[in-house]
């Protein structure tokens, strides 16, 4: 089975959430490397898909074992480990943020 180790995945979608494609970029395993790969993938996304939506097109990155590890925000300012509330919020789960505000 093919493993995607240290790969950033940009799931390209339009404004309505319809899947347009997928972009892959290698990263070096560091947080800075993940962010750099996300920037490159986003540049490619706009070049290859004219209808792409930055917000609807989620970004994740795998670790050295090929396991999905990080969620990346569309503005590249936040990187969170998958399975955390922050990663859920990055990927659009607004209930997480609302529950944090009410505490």
Pairwise CA distance, residues 89 & 72, whole Å: 10
In the prediction, which pLDDT does 2 show? Answer: 64
The pLDDT of 17-28, averaged and rounded, is 97
Which of the four pLDDT bands, split at 50, 70 and 90, describes residue 4?
confident
User: Whole domain around residue 28: which residue ranges?
Assistant: 7-101
The pLDDT of 47-74, averaged and rounded, is 96
Pairwise CA distance, residues 43 & 101, whole Å: 34
- Does residue 76 contact residue 35 with C-beta atoms inside 8 Å? yes
- What's the domain count of the chain? 1
Q: Is 58 exposed, middle or buried (0-12, 13-18, 19+ CB in 10 A)?
A: middle
Q: Per the structure block, which two tokens stand in for 37?
A: 């790969």
What pTM value is reported for the model?
A: 0.86
In a domain, 81, yes or no: yes
CA angle, residues 66, 35, 45, in degrees to nearest 5:
85
The pLDDT of 2-18, averaged and rounded, is 93
In a domain, 12, yes or no: yes
In a domain, 30, yes or no: yes
- H or E segment to which residue 39 belongs: helix 31-48
66, pLDDT greater than 90: yes
pLDDT in tens, 67-100: 999 999 999 999 999 999 999 999 887 676 555 4
Give backbone dihedrals phi and psi of 25, rounded to 5 degrees, phi first: -140, 135
In a domain, 2, yes or no: no
């Amino acid at each position: 089975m093919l493993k995607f180790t240290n790969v950033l995945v940009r799931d390209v979608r339009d404004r309505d959430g319809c899947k347009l494609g997928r972009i892959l970029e290698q990263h070096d395993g560091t947080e800075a490397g993940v962010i750099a790969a996300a920037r490159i993938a986003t540049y490619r996304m706009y070049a290859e898909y004219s209808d792409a939506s930055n917000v609807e097109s989620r970004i994740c990155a795998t670790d050295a074992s090929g396991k999905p590890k990080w969620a990346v925000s569309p503005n590249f300012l936040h990187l969170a480990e998958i399975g955390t509330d922050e990663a859920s919020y990055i990927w659009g789960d607004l209930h997480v943020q609302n529950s944090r505000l009410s505490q």
